[in-house]
Amino acid sequence: MSDVHRDAEQSGVTDEVAPDPGAAEAQEVPVEETLPGGAEVNTEAVNDPVVRGSADHPDTQLAAERLEDLQRLQAEYVNYKRRVDRDRALVQERAIADVIDTLLPVLDDIHAARQHGALEEGGPFTAIAEKLEASLAKFGLERFGEPGEAFDPNVHEALLHAAWDDSITPEDPTATTIVQVLQPGYRAGDRVIRPARVSVADPQ
pLDDT, tens digit, for every residue of 66-83? Answer: 888 888 899 999 998 888
State mean pLDDT over 190-204.
Answer: 91
Q: How many CA atoms lie less than 13 Å away from 169 in the CB half-sphere?
A: 0
Does residue 117 come out as left (phi exceeding 0), alpha (psi in the -120 to 50 range) or beta?
A: left
| pLDDT tens-place string over residues 12-25 | 444 444 445 444 44
More confident residue, 53 or 120: 120
Report the pLDDT value the prediction gives residue 61, as an integer from 0 to 100.
Answer: 83
CA distances to 131, 156, 179, 195 from 163, rounded to whole Å, are 38, 18, 9, 22
Query: Can you tell me the distance from the alpha carbon of 47 to that of 26, in angstroms, rounded to the nearest whole number?
Result: 15
More confident residue, 182 or 3: 182
Other residues' Cβ atoms within 10 Å of the Cβ of residue 60: 14
Other residues' Cβ atoms within 10 Å of the Cβ of residue 99: 14
Maximum separation of any 2 CA atoms in the chain, in Å: 142
Instruction: Give the amino acid at 157.
Output: E
Q: What is the overall mean pLDDT for the chain?
A: 78
Is 204's pLDDT higher than 80? Answer: no
Where would I find the H helices in the chain? 3-11, 21-26, 43-46, 58-115, 124-137
Residues 6+ apart with CB under 8 A from 166: none
| pLDDT tens-place string over residues 31-45 | 444 444 554 545 554
Sign of CA dihedral 31, 34, 37, 39: positive
| Whole-prediction pTM | 0.57
Helices 58-115/124-137 angle, 10° precision: 160
Report the pLDDT value the prediction gives residue 48, as an integer from 0 to 100.
Answer: 52
Report the pLDDT value the prediction gives residue 194, as an integer from 0 to 100.
Answer: 95
Q: Which range among 84-88, 116-120, 173-177 has the greatest average pLDDT? A: 173-177
